[in-house]
């Protein structure tokens, strides 16, 4: 996906219900772009950075070549 996503597309990307995206947006707990006072849009790259920052527990390690 490229460009800005709507709430349904953001929910599909995150594999969560649309209601979760709207709830987190209203609470300003996830990144969004405000288009005027009514419309909210999402950037796929910003959402990926957001979900990666929320990881808990053991983290995957990067393999280093010897």
63 domain residue, yes or no = no
Name the DSSP letter for residue 57: S
| Number of CB atoms found within 10 A of residue 29's CB | 11
pTM given for the model: 0.80
pLDDT in tens, 16-59: 999 999 999 999 999 999 999 999 999 999 999 999 998 888 87
58 domain residue, yes or no = no
Query: Is 60 exceeded by the pLDDT of residue 1?
Result: no
From CA 50, how far away is CA 53, in angstroms rounded?
5
Give me the number of domains the chain comprises.
1
- Tokens found for residue 4: 């800005």
Query: Is 50 exceeded by the pLDDT of residue 14?
Result: yes
> 35 - beta bridge partners?
39
Query: Is 90 exceeded by the pLDDT of residue 61?
Result: no
**Greatest CA separation for the chain:** 53
Query: Is 70 exceeded by the pLDDT of residue 62?
Result: no
What is the domain range of residue 17?
A: 4-53
């Amino acid at each position: 996906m490229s460009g800005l996503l709507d709430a349904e597309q953001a929910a599909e990307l995150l594999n969560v219900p649309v209601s979760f995206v709207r709830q987190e947006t209203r609470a300003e707990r996830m990144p969004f772009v405000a288009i005027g006072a009514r419309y909210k849009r999402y950037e796929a790259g910003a959402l990926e950075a957001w979900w990666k920052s929320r990881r808990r527990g053991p983290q995957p390690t990067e393999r280093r070549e010897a």
